[in-house]
């Protein structure tokens, strides 16, 4: 059975956290600098992002989930999400001024 809950929550969070990120700025600048080869920039960016997410999935499920208890992971991830949220809201990280 396909679990839509995990799918949609991951989709939303990754999409939102990728927005306004340094990766996005880089792709934007690369696409702007090579307007004739925009498709190849998009392809390169997409393949790189898929490869990195593959690495993350393998590391997360095979290394972190094996050596730590689920409760510890839950607490640590809650803490990290809160810290990242506070830092993002107050503009400590992720502030890139283009202009």
Which residues inside 17-56 make contact with other proteins, applying CB under 8 A? Answer: 17-28, 30-32, 34, 37-38, 40-54, 56
- Minimum CB–partner distance for residue 38 and other proteins (Å): 6
Could you tell me the two tokens for 83? 């810290």
- Minimum CB–partner distance for residue 22 and other proteins (Å): 6
- Asked if 69 is part of the footprint of other proteins (rule: CB under 8 A), the reply reads no
Could you tell me the two tokens for 47? 């393949």
Residue 49, Cβ density class (10 Å: 0-12 exposed, 13-18 middle, ≥19 buried): middle
Could you tell me the two tokens for 29? 């600048």
The count of chain residues that interact with other proteins, using the rule CB under 8 A, is 82
- Minimum CB–partner distance for residue 68 and other proteins (Å): 7
- Minimum CB–partner distance for residue 92 and other proteins (Å): 10
Contact 87, 93 (CB under 8 A): yes
Contact positions with other proteins (CB under 8 A) in 70-99: 70-71, 73-91, 93-96, 98
Contact 34, 16 (CB under 8 A): no
């Amino acid at each position: 059975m396909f679990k839509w809950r995990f799918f949609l929550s991951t989709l939303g969070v990754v999409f939102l956290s990728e927005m306004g990120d340094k990766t996005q700025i880089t792709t934007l600048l690369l696409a702007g600098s090579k307007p004739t080869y925009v498709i190849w920039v998009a392809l390169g960016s997409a393949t790189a992002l898929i490869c990195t997410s593959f690495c993350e999935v393998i590391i997360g499920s095979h290394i972190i989930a094996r050596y730590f208890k689920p409760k510890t992971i839950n607490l640590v991830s809650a803490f990290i999400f809160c810290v990242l949220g506070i830092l993002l809201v107050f503009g400590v990280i992720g502030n890139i001024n283009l202009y």
